[in-house]
Amino acid sequence: MKARAVKGILLKDLREVSRERMTLFWIFVFPLMWITLLGSIWGGSSPPAVIDVGIVHFNESTPFNALNVVEIMKNVTIEGQRVFRVTEYPNESAGLDAIKGGKIDTLIVFPKGFGENVSNGLQGKVYAYFDRSDPQEYQIASGLIRGFLSEFEREMAYRRLEVTLGYMEAYLPGNLSNLSPAMMKAYLVGLIDPLDLNEEKVKGETPSPIRFYVTSFIGIQFLFATMLTVSGLVFEEIEKGTLRRIAASPATAWDFLAGKMLSTFTVIAVSILIGIGYSRLVFGETVFPGLAGWGIIGLAAVFSMGLGLAIAMGTRSMKATNALVNLISMPLLFLAGIVIPESVLPGWAKPIANYFPLGRALKDLRLLELYHRPPGEVLPDVVWLAACSLGMLLIAVLLYNWAVKRLT
């Protein structure tokens, strides 16, 4: 490999990139727009969910009735925010019309006799209707309503237990007097609440959303921008007719590809640094990769550049190359865990995030920079990424030699 030839190609490409406004937009402006958009939407803390609840109940002059439940529901708060916006309806038909019209998320009906049954220690029926047109909204509404009713039911059971114990202490037969009230209570508590779940907090790594999306921005750069840039630089040589002259010169295929890759990586690295600094300036948070992180970024970029060069040399058409780059990169933005976390991907897509080199590289970068895992933990993945990058480079060299022969 001739250093002088590589340097010449590198400097020429950097000058040409600086003149291409569209290239500068996709490399520098678009990623900053991406960070701004996602950071503005998801970067801050999410407020507690609030749902609109319709209530239908009957007025009953009993010690405890549906109105008591409604008053408690109105005052449920999370982080100072009321969770349920309650609207009362005169009958079930009116409530169902409201839920069908999208005015409320849930309708809860307390049938006649609810208060009498509950006050007399019997089971009280409750009917809940959910709007399932939006699965995500349904999950939120269903979870909140079920959680509220479950906790309310548990509290009611404990209050009934206290009343029952009072009667037992007053009317306990003499032959059972050796059973203390504490033992009776413990036994009855076990009947109504067999499991005692104690939630303990563990301080672990919890990266903020904006830090996650900074790594997404880095992933976009070594996936989309890298392939687009390197293929564009190659086609400039073809369109200007300079590729024939380079092929006829003493410069080898490795010289040509090394120059193109160095110029591309230089531009992408500058773009990443600008994005990292921009996130810090605008959102007050960022991710600056360490040495191991930059090593993963470099290997991922090499794989992406090799793939972009292989596509360009194989098609020898700018339109076809752009179409293939978009066809590959756009689905991978989602399927490789770049835009959305790998944990929420469907089962069939998780192998792509785990085993496709660029998806695996981004996952390892997040392990290092967001969760501060030791570099040795991702070493096997780095070896796999390096092998894939070398293999893709060999394919690019073979296709380059094939394309040059066709040109000459």
Burial of 333 (0-12, 13-18, 19+ CB in 10 A): middle
pLDDT at 248: 67
Indicate if the pLDDT at residue 34 is higher than 60: yes
CA distance 215 to 364: 11
Per-residue pLDDT band for 42 (boundaries 50, 70, 90) equals low
pLDDT at 291: 92
> What strands, in cross-sheet order, belong to the sheet with 106-109?
84-88, 51-56, 106-109, 127-130
pLDDT at 110: 92
pLDDT at 295: 93
Query: Which of 395, 368, 191 shows the shortest CA–CA distance to 293?
Result: 368
pLDDT at 162: 77
pLDDT digits (tens, 9 = 90+) for 202-231: 555 567 778 888 888 888 887 777 887 787
Question: Helix, strand, coil proportions of the chain in percent (round to 5)?
Answer: 70, 5, 25
Least confident of 46-60, 130-144, 182-196, 269-283: 182-196
pTM (2 decimals)?
Answer: 0.64
Domains detected in the chain: 3-43+208-407 (no CATH), 51-192 (3.40.1710)
pLDDT digits (tens, 9 = 90+) for 227-241: 877 877 777 777 666
CA distance 223 to 304: 6
Query: Which of 208, 365, 205 shows the shortest CA–CA distance to 284?
Result: 208
Q: Which two tokens stand for residue 369?
A: 């920079």
For helices 357-369 and 375-407, what crossing angle results, to 10°?
150
First CA to last CA across the chain, in angstroms?
A: 22
CA distance 400 to 383: 26
pLDDT at 45: 56
Query: Which of 393, 394, 381, 385 shows the shortest CA–CA distance to 298?
Result: 385
**Average pLDDT score over residue span 275-280:** 89
CA distance 185 to 165: 7
**Average pLDDT score over residue span 294-311:** 90
Least confident of 4-13, 73-82, 153-162, 349-358: 4-13
Per-residue pLDDT band for 336 (boundaries 50, 70, 90) equals confident
What are the CB-based long-range contacts (under 8 Å, 24+) for 296-299? 296/361, 296/364, 296/365, 296/368, 296/378, 296/382, 296/385, 297/218, 297/222, 297/269, 297/272, 297/361, 297/365, 298/265, 299/361, 299/382, 299/385, 299/386, 299/389
Cβ atoms within 10 Å, residue 134: 12
Contact 269, 289 (CB under 8 A): no
**Average pLDDT score over residue span 357-383:** 90
Name the 3-class secondary structure at 204.
coil
pLDDT digits (tens, 9 = 90+) for 79-137: 778 899 999 999 999 999 998 888 899 999 999 888 888 888 788 889 999 888 777 78
Least confident of 32-41, 69-78, 290-299: 32-41
CA distance 179 to 182: 8
Q: Which position has the token pair 């040409």?
A: 16
**Average pLDDT score over residue span 261-268:** 85
Query: Which of 94, 93, 85, 100 shows the shortest CA–CA distance to 145?
Result: 85
* DSSP state letters, 109-155: E--TTHHHHHHTT-PPP-EEEE--SSHHHHHHHHHHHHHHHHHHHHH
CA distance 407 to 256: 16
pLDDT digits (tens, 9 = 90+) for 3-31: 766 677 677 667 766 666 666 676 677 77
Residue 17 CA from chain centroid, whole number: 33
pLDDT at 177: 53
Pairing label, strands 106-109, 127-130: antiparallel
CA dihedral 395, 399, 402, 405 (to 10 degrees): -130
Sorted by sequence, the CB contacts under 8 Å of residue 102 that are 6+ apart come out as 131
Indicate if the pLDDT at residue 281 is higher than 60: yes
pLDDT at 309: 84
CA distance 184 to 195: 17
Indicate if the pLDDT at residue 307 is higher than 80: yes
pLDDT at 50: 87
Residue 100 CA from chain centroid, whole number: 31
pLDDT at 187: 67
**Average pLDDT score over residue span 287-302:** 92
**Average pLDDT score over residue span 353-379:** 89
**Average pLDDT score over residue span 279-306:** 90
**Average pLDDT score over residue span 359-373:** 90
pLDDT at 22: 64
**Average pLDDT score over residue span 20-46:** 69
- Please give the residue that has the higher pLDDT: either 179 or 129: 129
Burial of 286 (0-12, 13-18, 19+ CB in 10 A): middle
Sorted by sequence, the CB contacts under 8 Å of residue 61 that are 6+ apart come out as none
Indicate if the pLDDT at residue 407 is higher than 70: no
